[in-house]
Amino acid sequence: MLFRFSVAALFIFVAAQICGFPLVYDARYISRGDSIVCKFMAKDIPRGAHVQLDMVQADGTLLLLGGKTVECAIGHPVSDSLVVSAASFAPESAFLKVIVDGIEYGEMVHIPAGRYSICIADRMIEQFSLKDYFISKREISNEQYRQFIRADGYDSESVWIIAEGLMKDTRIGWHYQGTRKLSKPIEWDYGIEPWFANSPFDAGHNSVAGITWFEANAFCNWIGASMPTYGQLASCFPGESFAGSAQKEQTALVLGVADGAAEWTCSGIDPQSSSCGGCNEMRLLENSEVNQCPFPMSSYKCPLFRNEYLGFRIAVPYNN
């Protein structure tokens, strides 16, 4: 069984690299009576994949609105749509996703190339020149992370390798996975179902939290993506949209699955100038319930740092 899961995990990872990351992105919603038309873009989706639209209800549960099976493989970007019945609907409550071989890929947002300015402190502006990229509209969810665990992600050495240039030792994550006996986010419990029932964000569609940078990196490698750079992530929360979830949900380019989750990035201290045991501190964006500032705040933490409010999202190059 362990060997079968390992092969499955490796197949998914390799297929994502060869065939491209399955993308549904830039969804728009049009109300037509008791129905909602969801218009979206699609790219690199294999035949047989399932595009699905869910909605978070008032009580926090997820409701399946409708979906469709892809009849022919989609290579180049195409426009597509879903028509579903929804008497009550709000775009920020929608979860568009594509499911390929049982793996859930959430909705992405296309960020065009350009020069982006963000407020990093009172009257201070930082600018980033960015190439086109896709970023997940929401943080990686509990359910998505559980799929990584079930695919034997913690025992698949290949997905723990770190990209060149991020750390001196590209295998240091696998070393710590073994020595620290990493096997799940903090507060998850394999003795109950679902495993994340005791976590702060205790629904499947809520953001996974309590993981190290190494775990986030392994998930990204497994699914065929990466964490966004600090510039990519911060540019998605421009100016005043950062403070307060209600304001953020209306104006930011991407959404938070749950309030109070900070996020890892793939930006860090130069590994040649500062390292400890082959790794170095990585930058995270402070998007937490204690951050009341109207601009993004960030800090550098050891990649083994974890707490109950720290999660991540993924990014994919435009030329996927």
Three-state helix/strand/coil letters over the chain: CHHHHHHHHHHHHHHHHHHCCCEEEEEEEEEECCEEEEEEEEECECCCCEEEEEEECCCCCEEEEEEEECCCCECCCEEEEEEEECCCCCHHHEEEEEEECCEEEECEEEECCEEEEEEEECCEEEEEEECCEEEECCCCEHHHHHHHHHCCHHHCHHHHCCCCCCCCCCCHHHHHHHHCCCCCCCCCCCCCCCCCCCCCCCCCCCECCCCCHHHHHHHHHHHCCECCCHHHHHHCCCHHHCCCHHHHHHHCCCCCCCCCCEEEEEEECCCCCCCECCECCEEEEECCCCCCCCCCEEEEECCCCCCCCEECCCEEECCC
More confident call, 124 vs 144: 144
| Residue 189 pLDDT exceeds 60 | yes
pLDDT > 80? residue 159: yes
Radius of gyration of the chain (CA): 19
> Considering the domain 20-108 in this protein, what is its CATH number?
2.60.40.10
> Over pLDDT 90: what percentage of the chain?
63
- Predicted local distance difference test score (pLDDT) of residue 245: 41
Assess whether pLDDT exceeds 70 at residue 188.
Answer: yes
pTM of the model: 0.89
Q: How far apart are CA 99 and CA 106, in angstroms?
A: 9
Question: H/E element holding 210?
Answer: none
Q: Express the helix, strand and coil content of the chain in percent, nearest 5 each.
A: 20, 35, 45
Query: For residue range 301-318, what is the model confidence (pLDDT) as tens digits?
Result: 999 999 998 999 999 999
pLDDT at 19 over 60: no
pLDDT band at 295; cut points 50, 70, 90: low
How far apart are alpha carbons 242 and 260 in whole angstroms? 12
**pLDDT by residue (tens digit) across 255-270?**
766 566 789 999 999 8
Look at 29 and 116; give whichever has higher pLDDT.
Answer: 29
Once rounded to an integer, what is the mean pLDDT over residues 202-215? 95
Which whole number is the average pLDDT over 51-61?
Answer: 91
Looking at domain 133-317, its CATH class is: alpha beta
- What is d(CA 18, CA 165) in angstroms, rounded to the nearest whole number? 23
Sheet containing strand 297-301, strands side by side: 297-301, 282-286, 262-268, 310-311
Confidence check: pLDDT of 203 > 80? yes
Q: For position 184, what pLDDT does the model report?
A: 97
User: What token pair was written down for 114?
Assistant: 């350009």
Q: What average pLDDT does this structure show over 285-307?
A: 77
For the cut 90, the answer to whether the pLDDT of residue 149 exceeds it is: yes
Q: Determine the pLDDT at residue 15.
A: 40
User: For residue 13, is pLDDT > 50?
Assistant: no
- Residue 191 clears pLDDT 80, i.e. is over it: yes
| Fold agreement (20-108, 133-317) | no
What does the mean pLDDT of the chain come to? 85
Quick check: 4 pLDDT over 80?
A: no
Which sequence spans correspond to the domains of the chain?
20-108, 133-317
Say which residue, 275 or 17, is predicted with more confidence. 275
3: left (phi over 0), alpha (psi -120 to 50) or beta: alpha
**Please, which residues bridge with residue 133 across strands?**
111, 317
Question: pLDDT per residue over 77-136, tens digit each?
Answer: 999 999 998 888 888 889 999 999 999 999 999 999 998 877 776 667 788 899 999 999
Structure tokens at 236: 């998605």
Q: Which two tokens stand for residue 294?
A: 């109207």
Q: What is the mean pLDDT of residues 291-297?
A: 63
pLDDT score recorded for residue 260: 64
Token pair recorded at residue 100: 């390929």
> Are 134 and 245 in contact, with CB atoms under 8 Å apart?
no
- Of 27, 169, 148, the C-alpha closest to 98 is 27
The predicted pLDDT at position 286 comes to 80
pLDDT of residue 241: 45
The DSSP H or E segment spanning 129 is strand 124-130
Cα 218 from chain centre: 12
Tokens of 165: 């240039």
Does position 277 have pLDDT exceeding 80, yes or no?
Answer: no
Confidence check: pLDDT of 243 > 70: no
CA 67 distance to own-chain centroid: 21
